[in-house]
């Protein structure tokens, strides 16, 4: 997403003074750290299974009141004032389980989720590493699932073609920079997938603020 879209989504989180915010599947903690700065003073907990990502996150804490831990984010119980879950609904199994879990965690969710922008071809699913069509919904199906889980969408922005190109090409370039057999094949998979018919416009991504 663009810097502006991320900043707008974080600003749209309605939280009380000195909120406690949980980022489930926080990666390198960037979203939580940005959110704590925007809503300061605020306290944060970020949890991810990836030790390297958590080490990166801890290096960015500075004078913020943030704790990052290696662990299973699905085992963390609330309540929190807000939850961040961006590209990480699989923490809970799938996006439907994530939406069900959010309900007992917080009244406000900063939620980033994929959706089928168009019907995925079998070649595209294969190129994603054996994805199945039922792993995601199309945009109206995602909106319906959010509503059925008891949330309304208070803010939404969608990744555009340029956002996807920047994201996937940066992933591939970073992997190639490591210049190891597994990172070279990872980069090749991204480039091969983007070269397929529908390779750049099948998958969509929405960054949303949900309110219960
Ligand atoms: C696509 S990354 C997104 C990271 C981060 N939310 C972001 O926006 O940059 C998904 C993250 O979920 C983490 N993850 C997957 N299952 C998890 C679990 N059960 N508990 C904690 N983290 C998990 C992965 O390690 C990975 O860092």
Instruction: List, for residues 105-151, the tens digit of each pLDDT value.
Output: 999 999 999 999 999 999 999 999 999 999 999 999 999 999 999 99
Chain segment 14-26, per-residue pLDDT in tens: 999 999 999 999 9
pTM of the shown model:
0.95
Which atom of ligand 1 is least distant from the CA of 84?
6
Give the domain ranges of the chain: 3-118+132-159+203-211
The token pair that represents 180 in the structure block: 């190891």
- Per-residue confidence at 28, pLDDT binned at 50, 70, 90? very high
- Output the CA 113–ligand 1 centroid distance in Å: 12
Query: What mean pLDDT comes out for the span 95-104?
Result: 96
Strand-strand pairing, 108-116 and 82-86: parallel
Q: Strands of 65-70's sheet, edge to edge? A: 65-70, 43-48, 20-24, 82-86, 108-116, 203-211, 152-158
- Output the CA 185–ligand 1 centroid distance in Å: 22
Domain 3-118+132-159+203-211 sits in CATH 2.70.150.10: no
């Amino acid at each position: 997403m663009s810097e502006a879209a991320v900043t707008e989504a974080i600003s749209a989180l309605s939280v009380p003074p000195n909120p406690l915010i949980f980022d489930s599947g926080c990666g390198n903690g960037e979203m939580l750290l940005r959110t704590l700065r925007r809503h300061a003073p605020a306290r944060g907990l970020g949890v991810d299974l990836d030790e390297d990502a958590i080490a990166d996150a801890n290096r960015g804490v500075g004078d913020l009141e943030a704790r990052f831990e290696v662990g299973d984010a699905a085992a963390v119980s609330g309540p929190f004032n807000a939850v961040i879950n961006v590209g990480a609904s699989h923490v809970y199994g799938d996006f439907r389980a994530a939406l069900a879990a959010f309900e007992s965690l917080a009244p406000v969710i900063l939620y980033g989720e994929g959706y089928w922008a168009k019907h995925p071809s079998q070649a595209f699913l294969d190129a994603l590493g054996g994805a199945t069509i039922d792993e995601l919904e199309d945009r109206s199906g995602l909106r319906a699932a959010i509503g059925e889980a008891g949330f309304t969408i208070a803010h939404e922005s969608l990744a555009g073609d340029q956002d996807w190109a920047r994201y996937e090409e940066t992933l591939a370039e970073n992997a190639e920079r490591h210049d190891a057999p597994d990172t070279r094949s990872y980069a090749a998979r991204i480039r091969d997938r983007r070269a397929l018919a529908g390779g750049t416009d099948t998958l969509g991504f929405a960054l949303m603020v949900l309110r219960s």
